[in-house]
Amino acid sequence: MVTFAQSMKFEEYRLSLEVKRNLEEMGFKRPTDIQFKCLPHIQRGEDLLAIAQTGTGKTAAFAIPIIDKIQSIQYKAFVKGSFVRAVVMAPTRELAQQITKVFNQIGKNTNVKALCVYGGVEQDHQINKLLEGMDIIVSTPGRLFDLVSQGYLKLDKVEILVLDEADHMLDLGFAKDIEDLVQKIPGRRQTLFFSATISKKIKQQAYKMVSSKAIRIQVSPKDPVSKNVNHQIIYVEMDDKRFFLQRLINDNEGLKFIVFVRTKVRAERVKAAMERAGIDTLTLHGDVEQSDREINLQAFRTNACKILIATDVSARGIDVEGVDFVINYDVPEVAENYVHRVGRTGRGRAKGKAITFCAKEEKPLIVAIEAYTTVGISRATVTKSEYNDTVELADDGKDDWKSLMKLVPKKKKKKGKKK
């Protein structure tokens, strides 16, 4: 049965010719479910609380009507300084950049200007762009708060506030920054609150910000994981995971992998292990400088390197087409993070695979993940012979963890007093 959302095309919507032309160039023929449900409410100026899994097209769901709305008013910055009309908050630099890219693609040739501001880099360039006059600011809460506090960014003309991946922002401890910033934005505004997950804490935060008449939209609430992703669990001892990763990459030469690990130290250790096996990799985590993060993401995006090792902090900000495999090298400690990790593959209409390496001590985490997703994950059958072959063929004696431990400085032992 064909739904109305599937039968309606963007060319039939009440949108400007420029926006329609840009959507066609981007390959957007028909709206996704979240776009179909959100567009009319946003166009009518209604507040929104939307729960949608990653990869459903929610960025375009708010970017399309915001661009069209600002373009129709033909707003211009009328004094020196930046009196923006829309603010979008995002939890990570990568996600903020991704959102800005979508705004600029949809807003091409409309004279609607969007700027991305984030921490980790000098702010002078961002300030100079602000002074040119911007319509839309996409930012992480910390840098946005800094620019407002310094007087470079004025929020008293803001008409639309968007919080994207609000659940992740709360997890990262941005609740106070968000509340302080909202106090500086006019009360008579449109608020769009997007989250991939819903909880009591998320509801409390959302209803502090949206009006009592806010429209609630929820897409695929019973199945938070995309049906385009094939999931498997392989039971692997913790010290043997590197051998199975090596084999998977070698057996699928030329395909694109994102490998998720628990910590920054683990990321560097896995990178070193793969390099010893002759496999080129990139890392993305909190200790990687912003300039290097951008270089690494661009190299991964353009297939200059097809293996990216990342921590959960980066999971939601990685929007790269053509990721064939997501490898949960470490099982995520928070069940929701499983959804965000595997959402990096199988995006749109593409198919993807998610493989989780699970050690004995991680089995309780799998139970929590399956309870959260309400879907059982199939277990891959690995015979004892196959297991031993994987370890023995990969281990040439050069890739031992004793040498990898040298990557981490040893803590000095405290000298005890002699009794």
Residue 281 within any structural domain of the chain: yes
Q: What is the pLDDT of residues 364-405, one digit of tens each?
A: 999 999 988 888 899 998 899 999 988 988 755 444 444 444
Instruction: Give the pLDDT mean for 328-357.
Output: 87
The last residue of a domain, from among 218, 244, 272: 218
Residue 75 has pLDDT above 80, yes or no: no
Provide the domain limits for residue 126.
Answer: 4-218
- pTM of the prediction? 0.66
Q: What is the CA radius of gyration of the chain?
A: 23
Q: Which candidate, 89, 146, 79, places its Cα nearest to that of 119?
A: 146
Mean pLDDT of the residues in the chain: 84
Q: Which candidate, 192, 159, 161, places its Cα nearest to that of 70?
A: 159
Residues 240 and 338 in one domain: yes
Instruction: Give residue 108's identity as a one-letter amino acid code.
Output: K
Residue 363 has pLDDT above 90, yes or no: yes
Residues 201 and 267 in one domain: no
Residues 276 and 209 in one domain: no
Domain count, the chain: 2
Residues 27 and 73 in one domain: yes
Residues 141 and 278 in one domain: no
CB 374 within 8 A of CB 220: no
Residue 417 has pLDDT above 50, yes or no: no
Residue 95 within any structural domain of the chain: yes
pLDDT for position 4: 43
Longest CA span, the chain: 86
Residues 356 and 385 in one domain: yes
Q: What is the pLDDT of residues 217-234, one digit of tens each?
A: 887 645 566 678 899 999
Residues 68 and 128 in one domain: yes
Q: How confident is the model at residue 72 (pLDDT cuts 50, 70, 90)?
A: confident
Percent of the chain with pLDDT over 90: 42
Residues 159 and 56 in one domain: yes
Instruction: Give residue 31's identity as a one-letter amino acid code.
Output: P
Instruction: Give the pLDDT mean for 85-104.
Output: 91
Residue 138 within any structural domain of the chain: yes
Q: Is 402 exposed, middle or buried (0-12, 13-18, 19+ CB in 10 A)?
A: exposed
Residues 214 and 316 in one domain: no
Residue 324 within any structural domain of the chain: yes
Residues 56 and 105 in one domain: yes
Residue 403 within any structural domain of the chain: no
Residue 155 within any structural domain of the chain: yes
Which CATH number covers residue 200? 3.40.50.300
Residue 416 within any structural domain of the chain: no
Q: What is the pLDDT of residues 117-165, one digit of tens each?
A: 988 788 888 999 888 888 999 998 888 888 988 888 888 889 999 999 8
In whole angstroms, give the CA distance from residue 113 to residue 75.
10
Q: How confident is the model at residue 314 (pLDDT cuts 50, 70, 90)?
A: low
Residues 71 and 189 in one domain: yes
The last residue of a domain, from among 189, 218, 247: 218
Residues 211 and 292 in one domain: no
What would the 3-class secondary structure string for 114-172 be?
A: EEEECCCCCCHHHHHHHHHCCCEEEECHHHHHHHHHCCCCECCCCCEEEECCHHHHHHC
The last residue of a domain, from among 218, 238, 262: 218
Q: 206-225 burial, b for 16+ CB within 10 Å, e for fewer?
A: beebbeeebbebebeeeebb
Q: What is the pLDDT of residues 39-51, one digit of tens each?
A: 999 999 999 999 8
pLDDT for position 220: 60
Residue 408 within any structural domain of the chain: no
